[in-house]
Amino acid sequence: MTFRVAVAGASGYAGGEVLRLLLGHPELEVGTLTAAASAGTRLQEHHPHLHPLRDRVLLPTTVESLSGHDVVVLALPHGASASIAAQLPDDVLVLDCGADHRLTDGGAWQEFYGGAHAGSWPYGLPELTRADGRKQRDSVVGVRRIAVPGCYPTAVSLALAPGYAAGLLGPEAIVVAASGASGAGRTTKASFTASEVMGSMSPYGIGGLHRHTPEMEQNLSAAAGLPVAVSFSPTLAPMPRGILATCSAALLPQHHDLDDEAVRQTWQQAYADEPFVHVLPSGTWPRTADVQGSNLVALQLAVDRRVNRVVVVAAVDNLTKGTAGGALQCANLALGLPETMGLPVVGLAP
């Protein structure tokens, strides 16, 4: 059976990546494409690399345009998905790539995003280990509403969750992560132009201000079974796509006697059967180039014995596994298809 998929926000980077993956999926068919300011234009004006779809005309993002599909992907700015989603039929699979339905705490939504909280949907990070020993995958199988994770939380949550689920780590995590410019979307801000980004790195959202912070805390708290606080410092890197996240947390005193291999085995066991999370061989460290265009998260870890902290480095493509690939992975689970169907595990090089 083939499922017809509408994509709202098709002119943006996330929407374009969803379409790239849909074109290679054997059971998902591209349906209506919509946009806001770009409505009425052809897709080739925004994504000339999507040759099979170049003559498609973008329609306005309305419930009428999105009706008649089995699946609707909302690749819209934060705050724009909830009103559309509320009007779609209950039997349609809706995947929200924005933040509108990720947070369970309405207070956190108000603090970091503002406005009314739309409520939470099943969270779409299948590999996330929870405190009860289950994976988050159980929450998305067969459902019809899924909140697709943010790109930074995908990398950070999968980097640290095994240690929290195993009771190894202290309740405060420190994360320093670099992202490519596409993480900001197709913005017209001068700070994201090539002349400003190339040859330079710059911090932003410092001091606990980044909107992905409560999502990371929500995920790691679910893994630990108790509250986890995250100090998150993001930086903008001179590359179009990719995230490299360096994440650390204290090894609890009762586990200081564990050797490095025992700590490492915790992560290896957590992801032994996960096709999209790779714990790299000892001595090999993740690079963004190695996961570009793939639905993989590459991890490596070490124990800093001077301060008894576990350091985990994660690399992910923010547009693939960090957004569009994560969405289609969840779509496969929700629709009863093989989880890996249509999702690339091979990166691009050089």
* Model confidence pLDDT, tens digit, residues 69-105: 999 999 999 999 999 999 999 999 999 999 999 999 9
CA distance 34 to 41: 10
The per-residue pLDDT for range 260-274, each reduced to its tens digit, is: 999 999 999 999 999
Structure tokens at 206: 């410092």
The per-residue pLDDT for range 196-243, each reduced to its tens digit, is: 777 889 999 999 999 999 999 999 999 999 999 999 999 999 999 999
Radius of gyration, CA atoms only, the chain: 20
332 secondary structure, DSSP code: H
> Which position among 97, 151, 247, 330 bears the catalytic label?
151
CA distance 115 to 113: 7
The per-residue pLDDT for range 104-125, each reduced to its tens digit, is: 999 999 999 998 999 999 999 9
Q: What is the dihedral of CA 239, 241, 244, 245, to 10 degrees?
A: 120
Active site residue 330: no
Domains of the chain: 3-149+320-335 (3.40.50.720), 152-316 (3.30.360.10)
Cβ atoms of residues 165 and 130 within 8 Å: yes
The confidence score (pLDDT) of residue 195 equals 61
For the cut 70, the answer to whether the pLDDT of residue 344 exceeds it is yes
CA distance 159 to 311: 9
What's this model's pTM, rounded to 2 decimal places? Answer: 0.95
**193 or 174, higher pLDDT:** 174
